[in-house]
Chains A and B, each alone.
Chain A
Amino acid sequence: MLRPALRRQRGRLTAGVAFLCLHQAAEAMVPVTIGVVIDRAVATSDTGALLLSLAALILLFTVLSLAWRFGARFSTAAKEHEAHLARVGIAERALDPRGQRSGLRDGELLSVAASDADRSAAAIRTAGAAAAACTALLVSAAALVMVDPWLGAGVLVGVPLVLMALQRLAPLLTRRSEAQQASLAGTSALAVDLVAGLRVLRGVGAQHHAAGRFAAASHDALADTLRAATTKGLHLGLTSTVNGLLLAAVTGAAGWLALNGQITVGELVAVVGLAQFIAEPVQTLGWCVQSLATARASARRVAKVLHAAPTVRPGTESAPPPACERLVLTDLRYGTLTGLNLRISAGETVGIVAYDPRDAEALLAVLAGTVPREDYQGTVRIDGVPAESLRLAESRQVVLVEPHDVALFEGTLRDNLAAGAAGDDDTLMAAVRVAAAEDVLHNHGLDQVLTERGANLSGGQRQRVALARAVAAAPPVLVLHDPTTAVDAVTEALIAERLTTARREPPQATVVVTGSPALLRATDRVLVLDDGRIRAEGTHDDLVAAEPTYREAVLR
């Protein structure tokens, strides 16, 4: 997962790393240069040397500044481009027509696409930072050894050892700060949740109890935060003590060497400055190790989605010419279905009443083409051809299942209605009329804007817009599931009548899985699905007269 990303971003990464290394090398040279200025110019009062060394300082800062600017830009660009690719890849897999078997729920997929894609791509930047830190260490080492081999060796061994020892505290620190972040996030989520349900709380006068519940959670979060803060304080204090002691040792040793004339005053300054400076790259390396571990975990989650197998294996055949019987199910066994037979012809409207909702769910899943062939027995034929041998786009063009759980999208009403049809406005308006959804048009007509999930519509309006969308798509076989549960009785009767009329000319097949008497009465025949198979068949009125169970199930 990480390796192809590094390969893809090779160009940006190489340039980024080169510039960042140059930057770190320049940073290492700053204390050395200060030492040189003190030595050659300040201590000697040599104006020429001052000008020369100032020029060198300017050059050094120019290199330092430009190198960081370009290095950081290249490596950030590499990271952002890679995160973008991962996000798009995840969206493609999640929306694959064949489905996907990652086993992740929507919320998890969203978090993989949002955070894990970013975190795994951050590995690219980490790699650059690690290379730069190594360069800084090498340059510092060279400078130190040139001043005094023994002193240099001491600093080079001492500083990393001490920092590594401090690093041992890191897991504790991470644990505490993770606990703190988790409890803070929990508190924030609780607050948001309570406020989101404010009207519900107010309805039963529970605001006060809710505030009390939040205060308790907030106290717990505070306790966690303070525990983390104490640990962090100890770590900071310890780091600063150890760095100070190290500085004392280096200063003592370098001072003694300077006193004996083995190194100059400027070199003394440079050594002390470098001893402080190399703490930075060493810490960066420690951070890189941790950050790579996080990136690897995130990359694994991203890969799990990107490499998820499709749910169904569709066929390769094109749709055959329309048969008289558009849809035939023979001895279908799937889930709670135990040998279901169903024949749907063009031009008829068939009602299905399922006594057990699980039977309806199973039937609709098979019709939607989201069930792998090996998971169900029996046959599903579309225009006489086994459904699994057809291309998905072709089979779904013939059989359209509009789920009960309505999903509308952000955009105009026109965009939503035209989802399944390249229809002109007249077609769309006709569909709106069939679904009795004229009230949604308001003042803006088809340009009416729907917010996310159609949240600015009422439940009934959403349901009718979805119905209009299905009607506008005008599929040869339209399967609807409880399409009018949120619609009042008068409107429901209107929809039943308009829908059957609209689907009759040209003759198209319609299947309505419902318990609504208004809709059932408008159908040509009604099938009763009980115990996994069709138990009775007839017109709505006949069934009402003949079957007490049916009467019980559909009359309200």
Chain B
Amino acid sequence: MTRSLLPTATPPQTWAAIRAEFARLPGLSAAAAALLIAASAAGLVAPWVLGRLVDDVIAGTGAGRIAYWAAVIAAAALAGGALTAAATAAAARLGETVLARLRERVLDRALHLPSATLERTGTGDLVSRIGDDATVVASAITASGPLVVSAALSVILTAGGLFALDWRLGLAGLAAAPGYAFALRWYLPRSAPYYVKERVASGERTQALAGALRGAATARAYRIEKTHVAHVAACSATTRDLTLEVFQIYTRLVARINRAELIGLAAVLIAGFLLVREQMATVGAATAAALYFHRLFNPIGMLLLESDTVLQAGASLARLVGVASLPAAPAAAGTDPAVTGGDLEVVVAEHHYDEGPVVLADITLRLAAGSRVALVGASGAGKSTLAALAAGIVAPTHGTVRLGGVPLGELGEVRTRQRIALISQEVHVFAGPLRDDLRLGRPDASDDELLGALELVGATGWLRALPGGLDTHVGEGGHRLTPAQAQQLALARLVLADPEVAVLDEATAEAGSSGARELERAADAATAGRTTLIVAHRLTQAATADRVLVLDRGRIVEEGSPDDLQRAGGRYSELWAAWNG
């Protein structure tokens, strides 16, 4: 499964997107740039002053001169401090605002991904972009960003200072540049694959641990605890060894950086020596140059050591910008096609996924407004596919789905979703307060409306037992709801969203028989008065429907009222007999 259908931005596109964001904040961008440069420049004063002071000491000037120079350093320190504070704050405001806008846009585009794209890509790639990539970029901007920017500026300005002092000393300092470049070119191609391997290995280690912990009861029952511990130990050892190997490479990068530092420092000292001997520069200038260069050690080292982070952040950024540059969801503007009544009509000559085999053929399904139709059939008969077609999640390969006479293609995705709701087998409880989860169905719902919806689906009992009522934190990391409760929650969301048509393909299976019966009642209550298509996983659901369709290998083989079918002695009555044991 290597196909990734979500776009990744090219470097020029990424740059353009970032520049456009900066351009939206012109004042802040300019202020941040100016402050950063000024703050770095203030840092150059001290070494320069020191050089002048050395010359004055050698010339034997008065103590007043010394006091003057000390005062200059102090003044530069005060100005530099204020500038640093302001520059850091401004740069953070700029970077963080851009980041926040980017992540909001990425999530907005991700959530509004057209159904067709989503069905093909699945949510895996999206989740990893929204989760991992966004975290990598955020931590690069928040933690490394200010350091890298100020290090880069101070390298540029210090190098400038070195040249301003004496261009020959500046040239000597440049002797270190090939060494640094060589170190980086040596390091990056070696480390990058290791970091990838290390991430994969540590993912596997977490997975091994999580799998073992989750399956602890089973491992005990089958007495295979040792196998799982050994698996965890092996994964952990692999990660440890990779970490140590990549660290070895890192230490060798540091050694190369040290070498470049030595070459640069020696070159500056030798140049200073020669210039002083030929009386082309003062001892003070040579001193200042050496001190300038010594000052470069930390920022250059930092830039090289952060190069991985910067590259990784760049790659993640490209993946985020790729999602952000998807077209925005079309608003439900324009003329609303005249939908008359809540009749749903599904006509499918043939349907298949990609180049796969035909999964549905010769289907004609009409649901009169307010009626209730059940789909019955063995697993793999095409029930869920037909449900997805009827809900307009998937467009039939050959065929049309009409709501109130209007093809769903003309109605558009947004309006379709407002009118037809689908509860699929995928169950998800959104992490956070229960109230927020329910309000996804209707954001402006009052607490009374929320409680009303919960009561309708029979959730009042367990709601009362929740520690904080509607404020209870549910989902990941919170109060764990049982599968049946999660399903009731899904039905409550449906009640709040209040669509004309409801398509239910929910799994009641995990609930056990008594729970399943409660869920059936909840589904009946939630869909009362709506045009309803229900995939009957339990035959009792079919028994209460107005009409039953029996699907077999993608075709309708029986159709009629449940009572007629039961008497008819066909497939449905066979199923019914098996079901009742």
- Contact B84–A265 (Cβ < 8 Å): no
Contact of A229 among B89, B329, B441 (CB under 8 A): B89
Q: Residue A169 at the B interface, CB < 8 A?
A: no
The 6 closest A-B pairs by CB, nearest first: A244-B77, A517-B581, A241-B81, A237-B85, A205-B417, A229-B92
User: Given A42-B283, A114-B206, A265-B58, do A204 and B580 touch, yes or no (CB 8 Å)?
Assistant: no
Complex interface bits, A206-220 against B, C-beta within 8 A gives 1, otherwise 0: 111111111100110
Q: Are B100 and A219 in contact (CB under 8 A)?
A: yes
- Is the C-beta of B418 less than 8 angstroms from some C-beta in chain A? yes
Q: Considering the complex, give the chain A residue whose CB is closest to the CB of B494.
A: A204
Question: Whole-angstrom distance from the CB of B222 to the nearest CB of chain A?
Answer: 4
Closest chain B residue to A244, Cβ basis: B77
Residue of B nearest to A39 (CB): B283
Complex CA gap A518/B578 in Å reads 7
Q: Please measure, in the bound complex, the distance between the C-alpha atom of A95 and the C-alpha atom of B494, giving whole angstroms.
A: 41
In whole Å, how far is A176's beta carbon from the nearest beta carbon of chain B?
12
A211, A226, A258: the one within 8 Å of B93 (CB) = A226
User: Which A residues lie within 8 Å of B209 (CB)?
Assistant: 87, 91, 110, 113-114
* Chain A residues touching B, majority SS: helix
* Residues on the B chain within 8 Å of A94, using CB: 212-213, 216
User: What are 11 inter-chain pairs, A to B, with CB distance below 8 A?
Assistant: A41-B273, A68-B254, A188-B138, A199-B428, A244-B73, A248-B73, A256-B63, A256-B66, A265-B58, A268-B54, A521-B581
- Chain B, residues 227-265, CB within 8 Å of chain A (1/0): the string is 011001100110010011001100110110011011001
B493 in the interface, Cβ–Cβ < 8 Å?
A: yes
Instruction: State whether A410 and B207 are in contact (beta carbons under 8 Å apart), knowing that A189-B476, A493-B578 are contacts in the complex.
Output: yes
Residue of A nearest to B84 (CB): A237
Write the nearest CB–CB distance from B532 to chain A, whole angstroms: 14
Asked if A72 and B215 sit within 8 Å, CB to CB, the answer is no
Interface 0/1 of A154-192, CB less than 8 Å to B: 000000000000000000000000001000100111111
| Cα distance A30–B243 in the bound complex, in angstroms | 31
Of the residues A76, A87, A212, A540, contact of B247 by C-beta under 8 Å:
A76
Asked if B148 lies at the interface with its beta carbon under 8 angstroms from chain A, I say no
**B61 / chain A contacts, CB cutoff of 8 Å:** 259
The stretch among B128-136, B343-351, B403-411, B454-462 that forms the contact with chain A is B128-136
Q: Is the CB of B80 within 8 A of A196?
A: no
B212 to chain A, nearest CB (A): 6
Q: Does B181 contact A (CB under 8 A)?
A: no
B residues near A194, Cβ cutoff 8 Å: 107, 111, 430
Q: Chain B 506-533, CB within 8 Å of chain A: the 1/0 string?
A: 0101111110110000000000000000
- Return chain B residues, CB-CB under 8 Å to A408: 215
Within 8 Å CB of A69, what residues of B?
251-252, 254-255
Interchain CA distance A473-B138 in the complex, whole Å: 50
Contacts of A323 in B (CB 8 A): none
B417 close to A225 (CB less than 8 A): no
Question: Is B192 interfacial (CB-CB < 8 Å)?
Answer: no
B431 touching A189 by the CB < 8 A rule? yes
B111's partner among A45, A210, A268, A473 (CB-CB below 8 A) is A210
Query: Do B225 and A236 touch (CB < 8 A)?
Result: no
Beyond A252-B66, A273-B291, is A184–B142 a contact (Cβ under 8 Å)? yes
Q: Is B259 touching A65 in the complex (CB atoms < 8 A)?
A: yes
Are B294 and A473 interface neighbours, CB within 8 A? no
Residues from chain A with Cβ under 8 Å of B431 in the complex: 189-190, 193
Q: Which of A38, A65, A214, A401 contacts B255 (CB 8 A)?
A: A65
CB atoms of B66 and A43 under 8 A apart: no
How far apart are A9's CB and chain B's nearest CB, in angstroms? 13
With A84-B236, A193-B430: A489-B575 Cβ-Cβ less than 8 Å = yes
Report chain A residues within 8 Å CB of B97. Answer: 222
A308 proximal to B (CB < 8 A): no
Asked if A195 and B107 make an inter-chain contact with CB atoms under 8 angstroms apart, the answer reads: yes
Is B31 in contact with chain A by the CB < 8 A criterion? no
Q: Tell me how far the C-beta of A351 lies from the nearest C-beta in chain B, rounded to whole angstroms.
A: 11
Closest partner residue, chain A, to B126 (CB atom): A195
Q: Which residues of A contact B426 (CB under 8 A)?
A: 197, 199-200
Task: Please tell me if the beta carbons of B287 and A204 are within 8 angstroms of each other in the complex.
Answer: no
Contact among B130, B269, B580 for A37, CB-based, below 8 A:
B269
Given A91-B212, A204-B497, A409-B211, verify A238-B81 contact (CB < 8 Å): yes
Query: Which residues of chain A from 266 to 284 have any CB-CB distance to chain B below 8 Å in the complex?
Result: 268-269, 272-273
Question: A516–B112 Cα gap in the complex (Å)?
Answer: 42
From residue 11 to 60 of chain B, which have CB atoms closer than 8 A to chain A?
43, 46, 49-50, 53-54, 56-58, 60
Stretch at the interface among A142-150, A324-332, A548-556: A548-556
**A200, B427: Cβ atoms under 8 Å?**
yes
- Check A449 for interface membership: any CB of B closer than 8 A: no
- Min CB distance B180 to A, Å, is 15
List 8 additional contacts besides A34-B290, A190-B432; criterion CB under 8 Å. Answer: A45-B276, A57-B262, A61-B262, A114-B209, A194-B107, A195-B110, A197-B430, A244-B74
Q: Determine if B217 is an interface residue (Cβ-Cβ < 8 Å).
A: yes
User: Cβ of A211: which chain B residues have Cβ within 8 Å of it?
Assistant: 104, 107-108, 111-112
Q: How far is the CA of A68 from the CA of B70 in the complex (A)?
A: 35
Report the Cα distance A452→B514, complex, angstroms. Answer: 30
A251 touches B69 (CB 8 A): yes
B422 sits at the interface (CB 8 A) = yes
| B-side contacts of A488, CB under 8 Å | 378-379, 537
Which of A130-138, A290-298, A392-400 lies at the binding interface? A392-400
Complexed CA–CA distance, A327 and B432 (Å): 46
Q: Whole-angstrom distance between the alpha carbons of A420 and B225 in the complex?
A: 11
Chain A nearest CB from B545 CB (Å) reads 16
Tell me the chain A residues, 298-342 only, with Cβ under 8 Å from chain B. none
Task: Flag the segment in A371-379, A453-461, A504-512, A527-535 that touches B.
Answer: A453-461
Distance in Å from the Cβ of B110 to the closest Cβ of chain A?
Answer: 6
- Contact between chains at B218 and A407 (CB < 8 Å): yes
Contact, CB under 8 Å: A241 / B222: no
Interface residues of B in 384-426 (CB under 8 A from A): 391, 393, 414, 417-418, 421-426
Report the bound CA distance from A241 to B78 in whole Å. Answer: 5
Q: Counting chain B CB atoms within 10 Å of each CB, which of A43, A191, A370 scores highest?
A: A191
Nearest chain B CB to A199 CB, angstrom units:
5
On chain A, the residues within 8 Å of B81 by CB distance are: 237-242, 244
Interface residues of A in 440-496 (CB under 8 A from B): 452-453, 458-460, 469, 473, 482, 485-493
> Using Cβ atoms and an 8 Å threshold, which residues of chain A touch B88?
229, 232-233, 236-237
CB contacts (< 8 Å) of B112 on chain A: these are 207-208, 211
Determine whether B210 belongs to the interface, using a CB cutoff of 8 Å to chain A: yes
Instruction: State whether A80 and B240 are in contact (beta carbons under 8 Å apart), knowing that A207-B111, A407-B218 are contacts in the complex.
Output: yes
Q: Which B residues lie within 8 Å of A252 (CB)?
A: 66-67, 69-70
The verdict on A366 contacting chain B, using a C-beta distance below 8 Å, is no
Q: Tell me the complex Cα distance, A25–B273, Å.
A: 26
In the assembled complex, B464 has its CB within 8 A of some CB on chain A = no
Task: Report the separation of the CA atoms of residues A493 and B83 in the bound assembly, to the nearest whole angstrom.
Answer: 79
**Is there a chain A Cβ closer than 8 Å to B439's Cβ?**
yes
B118 touches A202 (CB 8 A): yes
Q: How far is it, in angstroms, between the C-alpha of A258 and the C-alpha of B499 when the chains are bound? A: 87
Distance in angstroms between the alpha carbons of A273 and B66 in the assembled complex: 18
**Interface pair A65/B254, CB less than 8 Å apart:** yes
A68 / chain B contacts, CB cutoff of 8 Å: 251, 254-255, 258
Residue B164 interfacial (CB < 8 Å): no
Q: Please determine whether B499 and A204 come into contact, CB atoms closer than 8 angstroms.
A: yes
B240 lies within 8 A of A42 (CB): no
Contacts A486-B507, A488-B378 hold; do A515 and B514 have CB atoms under 8 A apart?
A: yes
Q: Is B305 an interface residue (CB 8 A)?
A: no
Name the one of B46, B63, B443, B539 contacting A244, with C-beta atoms under 8 angstroms: B46
Which chain B residues lie closer than 8 Å to A518 at the CB level?
Answer: 578-579, 581
User: Closest CB of chain A to B471's CB: distance in Å?
Assistant: 16
- Separation of A41 and B274 alpha carbons in the complex (Å): 10
Q: Looking across the interface, which residue of chain A has its beta carbon closest to that of B78?
A: A241
A520 at the interface (CB under 8 A from B): yes
Residues of A within 8 A of B423 (CB): 200, 203-204
Partner of B379, one of A76, A273, A460: A460
